Amino acid sequence: MYLQQLKNIIYEKGFRRADIARMTGVSRATVTLWFQREKEGWVNIESSTLLKLAQSLNVPPEIFLQKRENLFPLQTRFLWDHLYSSMESFVEALSQKRLPALARLIQVLGFAESKNVVGSVIINFFDNYKKFIKPVRRKELERLWPLYHLKK
């Protein structure tokens, strides 16, 4: 099982390791051992334990078998004001095309990189979300926007 997935869920739902132990029917010491292998990123657990964990967390078991990028290092860059509780919630807001999330993305990355992340929606919706961008950065982006808008 990839630990990053479990860490993300624990953080998002506010669980403790003791909660995970209870859900899976293993000891707290076992869960602690899982997290001591954090640098490896992977822990070998029994299939039945993985299934109990997935069922208890109401997620598909495959989620723990897919390697996930550790988004924690990006928190300082994108979550400085705690508008989003975690990088996972920020990414979810981006996938739902929420305007404050789009504004945050463009404010940090600019048009070219943001377009690589979410596509042309970042350019097409600029007039809708620009009010969420800090004024100095908004002025810069407003000057650049026509160049990107014409490229559609």
**Fold annotation for 3-63:** 434 Repressor (Amino-terminal Domain) (1.10.260)
Given this model, what pLDDT does residue 14 score? 80
Could you list the pLDDT tens digit for every one of the 152 residues in the chain?
888 788 878 877 788 999 999 999 999 999 999 988 877 778 889 999 999 999 998 888 988 888 766 667 788 888 888 888 888 788 888 988 999 999 999 999 999 999 988 999 999 999 999 999 999 999 999 999 999 887 65
pLDDT tens-digit profile of 21-59?
999 999 999 999 998 887 777 888 999 999 999 999 888
The answer to whether the CB of 57 falls within 8 A of the CB of 9 is: yes
Q: What is the DSSP letter of 74?
A: G
The whole-model pTM stands at: 0.58
How is the chain split into domains, by residue range? 3-63, 73-151
Placement of tokens 């996938």 in the chain: 95
The closest alpha carbon to 147, from 118, 126, 116, 119, belongs to 126
Q: How many CA atoms lie within 13 A of 60 on its CB side?
A: 4
Closest CA to 104 of 69, 125, 129: 129
pLDDT at position 146 is 92
Closest CA relative to residue 122, chosen from 102, 142, 108: 102
Query: What are all long-range contacts of 72-77, with beta carbons under 8 Å and residues at least 24 apart?
Result: 77/108
For residue 97, the model assigns a pLDDT of 92
